[in-house]
Amino acid sequence: MSSHKSILVTGANGFVGRRLVESLSADPTTTVYAASRRPLDAVLRNVTHVQLGDLASDELAERLFGIDVVVHLAARVHVMNETYADALAKFRHANVAATALLAESAAAAGVRRFVFVSSVKVNGEETPRDGAFRSTDAPCPHDPYGVSKLEAERELQRITGAFGMELAIVRPVLVYGPGVGANFARMMRWLCRGVPLPFGSIDNLRSLIALDNLCDLLVTCAWHPAADGQTFLASDQEDISTPDLLRRLGIALGRPTRLFNIPQDALRWAFRWGGQAEAGRRLCSSLRVDANPARQILSWRPPVSLDAALLRTAQHFLGVGQKAAPRRGDNRC
């Protein structure tokens, strides 16, 4: 392969996609094609925007000729309060059928490698505190989003096997970083307002991954020869409890963390009563992953520590996060 490389990123205006495109654009030997429905938020050197209306469109198929690697981030993301009666059909259309069409077009155009951003939800929703999901575990998705991601993985394995295109799959845990929304932003708002929080008795461990760390791993999977045929569970490789996360996030924000104790069963009940059962589960349960294969196979190490990533997240939040509601993004696992 020549020293110059070309890569196409779908979902380029999403939470992860924006940062990934920005990171890729810093390499003068790489031409980046950023595919998204809306124009890019910023003009970047070495980046060409591809207006994405349909993953199976002729325009996108034409853009795939001459591309070395596709990183596929575009998806219908996990929804906390689903409103569609047949949510699985919506997820299958966006996350399975569209992914398969994109992969077939990529293979026909001679794309060498397809990097698919899946989800830890393929493995399941929670682990024992002293346990961890592994990529070799039998899949156990619990919701339509997780089912659709598993089905997309299997379709990609079928297509790439038939066409001889390389495939790397990355299943991230919850992604946090500048611009993060959902529960993570809610926690920062609580801390900034000095709200006493009833989470002191939670005894869990959760794996997280910083936005910069995930993007670094995706770039590694795009080019590393040993990534072909692998599925990686992606994390910061430092697990943390909810109370410890709040304390360290409070330090990053320069705010005191006021925790008091309520039994976990009572907390879960209170969240269910308030119609926030899933948010309560995420705060109270453990979800750990074994991210060692990325270290062993790719010699990959997270370039940003958890505390440094929390500081970047907090600084962004203090600068702009409280002035406008965050956009929906793909930060949820």
Active site residues: 145
CA-wise closest residue to 142 among 282, 318, 321, 295: 282
Burial of 225-255, coded b for 16+ CB within 10 Å and e otherwise, reads eebeebbbbbbbbebbbbbebbbbbbbbbeb
Alpha helices in 174-289 (DSSP H): 182-192, 211-223, 242-253, 264-273, 277-284
Q: Mutual orientation of helices 306-316 and 242-253 as an angle, nearest 10°? A: 60
161's CB contacts (< 8 A; 6+ apart) are: none
Written as one string, the DSSP assignment of 203-220 is ---B-EEEHHHHHHHHHH
Beta strands at 166-172 and 174-176: parallel, antiparallel or unpaired: unpaired
**Alpha-carbon torsion, ordered 247, 249, 255, 256, to 10 deg:** -10
- Check: CB of residue 17 under 8 Å from CB of residue 177: no
